[in-house]
C-alpha cells in the first residue's frame, strides 16, 4: 500500500470531530477505498483543552490555522472553520498557494469568493473539493459534476436547509405558529441562538449559488440569488395550502432558459404528490433535471457530524486516488442572470379583509388590470364588518405584474394587513 495521505484539519467543532471519529472507526474501509491510509497529522482550533470525544495527544497542534498550510507533514488541508472571510479564507488561499489540495465544507466562503478561489486553484493546479458544502451527506456535488456530466441541465432545486424544513414540517403537523416552533427548534439544538442565517434563507442561498455554478458551468454568483426566508409563513397559510393540495417548503431553485440563468430561494407551495413534498423534518433533498436523464432526486441528512464528515472523507478518498475534476466542470458559460422581476409562475395570495360588499370586486379588478388570471378563490364563513381571510390562486403571470398588483391591493382600505404571497412550484 502507498504512503499514507496526511491531512491537517482546521476547526474541531461538530464536523471536525466527526471527521476524526470517522477516520478512527472506519480507517480500514477508507484505506481500502483510497488505496492508502488517510491519517491526521495536525490540527488547529481555538481551544485546546475541550473534550471532543477523540484523542488529540499524538497530533501536532497549530494555534494559527494558516500554519497548517506550511506544515511539511501535511499533504492536504481540511478547512472546517466556517465563515466567508477571516481565518478560513486565509487558510484556503495559503494552502492553494503552497500547492496543497484543499477540502472544505464552507458554503459561505465558496458562495462569496468561490470564483476567485477556483481561479486560484486552477492556476496552481491544486484540487479544491467541497462535497460537504452542500446538503451534508447527500452526494449532490458528485451527482451534478460527475453522475450527470453527459447532460445539459435545465434546472436544479432542493430543500437546502434542515432548520427551515423542520420548522415548516412541525408547523404543518402540529398547527403551531412560526415563533413557537422556532423557539422549540432552538431548545432542541436544530436552530442557532441567532437563527437569522437559516430562517432568512441565506444558508440555502449560499448552497444554491454553488449548485447553480456546477449545474450551468458558470462562475459562482451569490449576489444574483433572490433570497426570501420563512419568517412570514403562518399556520393559516399552511392550513390553506393543505386544503388546496399543497405543502409549503423553503426551496432553492436555479434554472436556465433562453433568457439566461435564474436563481432564487423562497417559500414555495408544491403539490402534495410531488416527491419533494414528502421530505420532512431535518432532511434535505436535491432535484436535478437533465435533457437525457430526466428528473433525479437525492434525499438525506443535510447537516450533522456524521453526514458532513462522510462527505469530507469522500473528497479525501478522491484526492488520495488522484481523482481530480475541474472546480466548475470546465469552460465557463457567460449566460446572463435573469432578475426575479422576470420570473413567471403561479401564485397563492392570502388577504385579510373587512367582510363588506365590493371588496372582492376591487381585488379582482386590480388583478384584471395587471392581466393576472385567477385559478381559484376560497372564502370561509361570513363576519360582516370583521376581518376574514380570502385566498386566491393565479395562473402563470410575471413577477413584476404580480408585485405591482399586490402593492395596489395592499393600499385598499378594506385590506387590513400585508397580503401574504407564496409562489406555486410544480416540482
CB atoms within 10 A of CB 193: 5
Which residue is associated with the grid cell 456546477? Answer: 214
Q: Closest Cα partner for 319 from 76, 28, 10?
A: 76
C-beta of residue 153 within 8 angstroms of C-beta of residue 289: yes
CA 248 to chain centre: 16
C-alpha 47: how far from chain center: 29
**Given the DSSP bridges, would you call strands 246-257 and 226-227 parallel, antiparallel or unpaired?**
unpaired
Neighbours of 388 (CB within 10 A): 18
* Residue 242 vs residues 168, 235, 378, 379: alpha-carbon distances, Å: 13, 11, 13, 15
Report d(CA 229, CA 417) in Å as an integer: 19
Pull the grid cell for residue 403. Answer: 408585485
Residues in CB range of 172: below 8 A, 6 or more apart = 238, 242, 247, 248
Q: Which residue has the cell 481555538?
A: 46
The set of catalytic residues is 207
The residues pairing with 244 across neighbouring beta strands, listed in sequence order, are: none
State how far the alpha carbon of 270 is from the alpha carbons of 237, 240, 245, 278, 300, in Å: 13, 13, 8, 10, 19
Amino acid at each position: 500500500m502507498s504512503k499514507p495521505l496526511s491531512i491537517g484539519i482546521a476547526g474541531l467543532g461538530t464536523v471536525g470531530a466527526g471527521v476524526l471519529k470517522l477516520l478512527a472507526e472506519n480507517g480500514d474501509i477508507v484505506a481500502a477505498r483510497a488505496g492508502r491510509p488517510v491519517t491526521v497529522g495536525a490540527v488547529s482550533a481555538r481551544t485546546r483543552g475541550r473534550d471532543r470525544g477523540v484523542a488529540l495527544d499524538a497530533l501536532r497542534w497549530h494555534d494559527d490555522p494558516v500554519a497548517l498550510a506550511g506544515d511539511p507533514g501535511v499533504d492536504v488541508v481540511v478547512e472546517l472553520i466556517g465563515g466567508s472571510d477571516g481565518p478560513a479564507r486565509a487558510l484556503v488561499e495559503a494552502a492553494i498557494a503552497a500547492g496543497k489540495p484543499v477540502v472544505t465544507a464552507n458554503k459561505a466562503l465558496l458562495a462569496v469568493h468561490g470564483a476567485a478561489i477556483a481561479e486560484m486553484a486552477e492556476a496552481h493546479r491544486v484540487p479544491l473539493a467541497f462535497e460537504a458544502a452542500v446538503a451534508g451527506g447527500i452526494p449532490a456535488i458528485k451527482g451534478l459534476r460527475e453522475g450527470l456530466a453527459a447532460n445539459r441541465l435545465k434546472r436544479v432545486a432542493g430543500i437546502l436547509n434542515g432548520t427551515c424544513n423542520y420548522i415548516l414540517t412541525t408547523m404543518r403537523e402540529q398547527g403551531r405558529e412560526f415563533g413557537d416552533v422556532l423557539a422549540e427548534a432552538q431548545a432542541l439544538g436544530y436552530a442557532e441562538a441567532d437563527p437569522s442565517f437559516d430562517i432568512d434563507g441565506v444558508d440555502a442561498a449560499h448552497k444554491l449559488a454553488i449548485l447553480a455554478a456546477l449545474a450551468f458551468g458558470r462562475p459562482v454568483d451569490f449576489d444574483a440569488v433572490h433570497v426570501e426566508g420563512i419568517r412570514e409563513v403562518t399556520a393559516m397559510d399552511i392550513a390553506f395550502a393543505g386544503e388546496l393540495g399543497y405543502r409549503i417548503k423553503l426551496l432553492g431553485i436555479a434554472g436556465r432558459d433562453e433568457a439566461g440563468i435564474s436563481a432564487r430561494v423562497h417559500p414555495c407551495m408544491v403539490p402534495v404528490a410531488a416527491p419533494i413534498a414528502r421530505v420532512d423534518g431535518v432532511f434535505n433533498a436535491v432535484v436535478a433535471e437533465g435533457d437525457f436523464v430526466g428528473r433525479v432526486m437525492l434525499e438525506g441528512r443535510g447537516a450533522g457530524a456524521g453526514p458532513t464528515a462522510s462527505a469530507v472523507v469522500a473528497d479525501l478518498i478522491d484526492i488520495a486516488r488522484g481523482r481530480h475534476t475541474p472546480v466548475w466542470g470546465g469552460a465557463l458559460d457567460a449566460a446572463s442572470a435573469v432578475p426575479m422581476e422576470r420570473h413567471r409562475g403561479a401564485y397563492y395570495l392570502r388577504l385579510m379583509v373587512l367582510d363588506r360588499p365590493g371588496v372582492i370586486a376591487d381585488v379582482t379588478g386590480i388583478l384584471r388590470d395587471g392581466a393576472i388570471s385567477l385559478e381559484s378563490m376560497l372564502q370561509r364563513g361570513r363576519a360582516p364588518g370583521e376581518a376574514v381571510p380570502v385566498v386566491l390562486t393565479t395562473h402563470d403571470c410575471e413577477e413584476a405584474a404580480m408585485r405591482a398588483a399586490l402593492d395596489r391591493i395592499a393600499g385598499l382600505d378594506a385590506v387590513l394587513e400585508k397580503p401574504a404571497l407564496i409562489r406555486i412550484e410544480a416540482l
